Chain A
Amino acid sequence: MSFETQRFFLERKEGGARFCTLLTPANRKPRGGLLILAPFAEEANKTRRLCLETARTCAAAGWSVLLGDLTACGESAGDFSSTSWSDWLADVADFAGFLREKSDGPLILLGLRLGALLAANAMASGLKADGLFLFCPITNGKQALMQFLRLGAAADLNASEAARIDTRPLRAKLAAGENVEIAGYSLSPALAAGIEATQVTADMSLPAQLAWLEVVSSDPPAATPAVEALTNRLREAGHSLDIRLHRGPAFWQTQEIEQLPELPKEIVALLEKFTEETA
C-alpha cells in the first residue's frame, strides 16, 4: 500500500521549531496514529534508519505515522545545553496533539530506548493516548544517566587497578548547577535530573494496553531477568501486556549498524493485535 511523506517544522510556543516527518497512507482512512519517539545521543544515530524503516512499514500497513525530532535533537532547532526533560515532555504532548488532529482511530505512542521512558513519563503526566508501545525500552532513568556519565568519565582507561570510570566529578558539577560535556553533548543539570528521576513502574498511570518488543540475543529468545520482573509487576497491576521477544543483536549500541528487516514487520503485527484489543 502506498503512502505519502511530508517533512515540515512544527513551531514551539517558546520559539524554535521541531523537525517532523509525517507518513500518511494514500487514498484511505488511517487505522490510527502512531507517534515514534527515538532514542537519545549515539543510540539515535545507530537507530535512525530503523526508525524510518519502521515508520514506512507502519504507514504502508495503514497507519499515520509521525516521527518527531525532540527539541535540540536531530534536525530540530534548539540549544541542547539548555534543553530539559520537561521540554521534551512538552514536545511529546505537541506531537501527540498534532497527530490526533491528523488521524482518526487510536493514538499509539511507540518509544525506542530513552524514547520509551519519555513516552511512559508523558502518559503518566497526563498525556491522553490509547496505547503505549515499549520498544527495547530503557525503564530505569537512573541507570541510563549513569551509563551516559560513564562515557564522559571513561577516557584514558587502561588495565590497571588505579584506572577508574569515576562519574563523581561530573555529578558534582551537575549538582553545582553546571553543564557537563559528554560525547559532544552539553548536558544540563535539568536534563540530567529529569532523566534520573524517571522510571517505568507498575504503579505509574499508564494505559491498560501495553505492547513490549524486546530484542534479545539468547537462543531460544528469553527475556532478561530485569524485563521479566517488570513485566510481571505490570501484569499484576492490571495491565494487559503483550510482550514479544525477537532474536537479534543490541542494534542500538553495536559498533556496526545492524540491518534488521524483520523488526518493522514484527512491530506492525504487534500494533494490529493492539488495536483489535482497544477497538
Chain B
Amino acid sequence: MDIRKELATIFDELLSLGGRSSTFTDATPLLGALPELDSMAVVGVIGAIEERFGIVFDDDEIDGSTFANFGNLVQLIDSKLSA
C-alpha cells in the first residue's frame, strides 16, 4: 500500500484541493499553511485515515505536530500499520 498516495488522495478529496495534493512532499507544511485545513477538517482527515486504513487512533497518539507537515502524518500511519 502506498501510504503517501492514499493520504494525498484523502486530502484532495476532503478539502477539494483539485489535484494540488499530488505535489505534496514530506516537507509540505499542513496545519497553519493550508487554509482549507481548519480544525474541523483535521478531524475529517483523521476519520478518513482510520476508515481507509482500518486503524483507530487514541487521544494521546495525535497532537498538533502530527499535522505540522505531510511527512509526520505519513510516519504516524506507517507506525500504526506496522504495530
Contact = CB atoms under 8 A, between A and B. Distances in A.
Interface size bucket, A side? 20 to 34
B56 A146 contact: yes
B52 A157 contact: no
A224 B51 contact: yes
Interface string B27-44: 001111000100111111
Interface in B14-64: 14-16, 29-32, 36, 39-44, 46-48, 50-54, 56, 59-60, 62-64
B54 A255 contact: no
Given A143-B51, A159-B65, A225-B54, A255 B15 contact: yes
A150 B43 contact: yes
Contacts, number: 96
Which secondary structure dominates chain A's binding surface? loop
Given A159-B31, A224-B52, A164 B64 contact: yes
B41 A255 contact: yes
A233 to B, nearest CB: 13
B41 A160 contact: no
Contacts of B59: 164-168
A147 B14 contact: no
B13 to A, nearest CB: 4
Interface stretch (A2-10, A19-27, A69-77, A246-254): A246-254
Interface in A153-170: 154-168
Interface string A173-187: 000000000010000
A254 B40 contact: no
A229 interface: yes
B18 to A, nearest CB: 10
Which secondary structure dominates chain B's binding surface? helix
A254 B63 contact: no
B3 to A, nearest CB: 12
Which of A142, A159, A250, A256 has the most B CB atoms < 10 Å from its CB?
A: A159
A146 B47 CA distance: 9
B63 A217 contact: no
Contacts of B63: 160-164
Interface in A109-153: 142-143, 146-147, 150-151
Interface of A: 142-143, 146-147, 150-151, 154-168, 183, 217-218, 224-226, 229, 249-250, 253-256
9 contacts: A151-B40, A156-B39, A159-B31, A159-B64, A160-B65, A163-B65, A164-B60, A165-B46, A255-B36
A-B interface, 7 closest residue pairs, ranked by CB to CB distance from nearest: A163-B64, A226-B54, A154-B39, A147-B47, A159-B31, A157-B39, A159-B68
Given A253-B47, A255-B14, 5 more contacts: A154-B40, A158-B31, A224-B53, A226-B51, A253-B44
